[in-house]
Amino acid sequence: MTGYSFPGIGTNDAPFCGEIDGRKNIISGLTMKRTGETCVGLVNVGTDGLEVHDLTLDASCTFTGYRYVGGFAGKVSGENGGNVYFSNLGFEGTVNVNDNGGGIIGCVPNNDFTAHFTNCYTVGIVNGVSDNGALSGWSSYARIRNCYVLVKGKGWENGHDICRGFTPRFTNSYACGAVQTGSGLSSFTEKEMQDGTLLKKLWPNVYHQEIGTDTHPLLSHPRSRTPEDQPNNIRSLNGTWIDGNWFDLSGRAVTSKMPRGIYIRNGKKVVIK
C-alpha cells in the first residue's frame, strides 16, 4: 500500500457491519495520517456484526489520529449494542494517538458491545498520552483467547496495559512488559518469545516460527509471494527452490548443453545469449 491514499472503511453515519477476510495476506506500507481526527483504522467505524480475520499489518504500517485509533478498527459503536469479532490477526505497526488507541481496536465506547479477540497478536508500538492498550484502548467485557502481546510504547493505564475495559476475560493468553488485571493471562519474556517457548504454549496450527530467524511467533500466513518470473511448478514440495539444477520456463530439467534462452538456476532467472 506504499504510496496509496486509503481513507478507511466506515463512518459514524455509515458504520461497517460486514466481513473483511484477509485470506492470510500481509499488508505493508499502509499509512493513515489524520492527526486531528477521531476514528482511524483499516475500519474507521464498525458496528454489530463486524468481522475481521486472517490478516497481518506489518511493521511498515502506521495509523495516526487524535482519538479512537487502531490498526484494524478505530471505533466500534451502535445504538443497540452487539458483538464484533477479530481473529487470526497480527499487528506489527505503529499507532500514534492522544488517547484510546490500540493495536487491534482503538475503542469500543458503548459498554453493551462485546469485542471477541481470538488468535491475535500485537508486537507493534502504541504511542499516546493516556488510556491506551496494546490490543484495545477500551473494550468492555472483551473476550480474549489464544492471544499474545508485547507491550511497547507509552500512554498506558496501569493495570490495563493490554485491554482497558470492565473485566476483560483471558483464555490461554500471554503478555510481556504489561500489567493487566484479570484471570487467564500469563507472562512471558522476550527470550521465551524468541526461542520457541511461547510458541509451544499457544494453541497449535495457528502460529508458526522459524527459530533463529523469526523474532516472535507468526500467524500461519505466507512469508512472501513467488515472483512472477519464477514458475510455481518448479519449486520443491517445501516451497524452496531446487539447488544446482537448470530448468526451462516450462519447468523441465535441462541436462544437455543449453542453447540461447531464459532459464532458472538456483531460483534465479538466467539469460544465455
Quote the pLDDT of residue 84: 96
Asked whether the predicted pLDDT for residue 270 surpasses 90, the reply is: no
pTM: 0.80
pLDDT digits (tens, 9 = 90+) for 225-257: 333 333 333 333 333 434 456 677 766 776 655
Q: Which neighbouring-strand residues pair with 105? A: 73, 136
- List the single range of 103-117, 195-209, 240-254 with lowest mean pLDDT: 240-254
Q: Which neighbouring-strand residues pair with 253? A: 247
Give the C-alpha separation, 184 to 212, whole Å.
29
Q: How many C-beta neighbours within 10 Å does residue 130 have?
A: 14
pLDDT digits (tens, 9 = 90+) for 59-71: 999 999 999 999 9
DSSP state of 234: G
Asked whether the predicted pLDDT for residue 266 surpasses 80, the reply is: no
Asked whether the predicted pLDDT for residue 30 surpasses 70, the reply is: yes
Q: Average pLDDT, whole number, for the chain? A: 86
Is the Cβ–Cβ distance between 269 and 230 less than 8 Å? yes
Nearest to 85 by CA among 132, 146, 19: 19
DSSP state of 105: E
Is the Cβ–Cβ distance between 48 and 82 less than 8 Å? yes
Task: Please state the φ and ψ torsions of residue 104, each to the nearest 5 degrees.
Answer: -100, -55
Which residue is listed with cell 490498526? 71
Mean pLDDT of 73-92: 94
